Structure 1
Amino acid sequence: MSDRAARAILAAVALMASWGLVAAFPEIAYVIVGILGTCLWQRVVTWLGRRRSTEAGADVAPAADEKHETVPEALHRLAGPHVFLADFATARGLSKEAARAVLEALDIRVRRAVRNGDDTGVGVHRDDIPPLPRPPSATPAEGVDQGQPTNQPGVRIERTEGGLIIYDLADTHRHHTVGDH
């Protein structure tokens, strides 16, 4: 059965159930009309937005933030805690098939069922979302090794067979010896 036929059948069942509620409780008609009106308004606004973007065609440039967004960044932005394939496809301006192909090409697993709140659908589980790349640090940190100066300014320590020799670099002609006494 196609998706449209299933939706049409579901809509017919919902309308008959609504009619039954209105017949039993006439006051609820206002609530039902409000819900249906809100759903219809959301559909119209979405349809008009798609139509405007289609008419504009290639004249519409992507936003500066979306232009350089990588797939992992998009997945992290959309995660709540998982990402539905349809949401990812919409965010990237792709069909569901193309979005699935992109994810599979990057070895990101697409599962049959992930849950966000009360909704369940095809998507990427939070465990399968790749981590964001770490930003490069300004200067790499180097550890102190034997033979290198310590982090104490003006002091140098050398290890010898008899113990440690501590050099005070401010006073170049004297040093202190700590030995095994």
Structure 2
Amino acid sequence: MLLILSGAGILTLKAIVTAAPYVAYFVAGILVTLAWQKARACIRGRREGDGEQTEPEPTPDVGEALRRLVADDNGVLLTRVRDDLKLPNTKRVKQLLDEAGVTWKAVRTSRGNGPGVHKNDIPPDPSPVVADAHAAGCCCRSSGNNNSDNGTDPSGREGLHVEPIGLAGSVLRQAADEKRHHQINP
């Protein structure tokens, strides 16, 4: 069977070359071009392989990308993270998320629905680790500055002090003034 098909193919090619000889030159040119490209790629591959070893690409920071992309949305789609980090596919994005300990699931965003990371699952920005945040002569480590507030009054009733009021901020109070000048309505 294979012999019959080969013979039919050869007869067809002979008929085409006899009828239009320039077709043979065209086909031969295409085949030579393809062979040349393959040979150049093979040679280039050997040269790059003989040279220095390529360093692996650094792992992209998925957490930073998620915090940057979420903005005011409900979450970030994995395809958007893939495009932002220029990764080959979402499988690699899932692998990076698993390594970072970030859960992904189906989310609804303004850009569409699909697998992604919900805004509540995005890890917070890591705080910078500072060994010694204060320089010498700063804050509580500084020596007296000849103010009247630097006395050794054990009551601590002199000057201003700051009272935190939860997540809303803080209140600056005059410690010596104990009475309230206004009434707070609930």
Q: Which structure is richer in relative contact order (CA contacts within 8 A, separation 6 or more)? A: 2
Q: TM-score range by the shorter chain?
A: 0.3 to 0.5
TM-score by length of 1: 0.40
Q: Larger radius of gyration, structure 1 or 2?
A: 2
| TM-score between the two structures when normalised by the length of structure 2 | 0.39
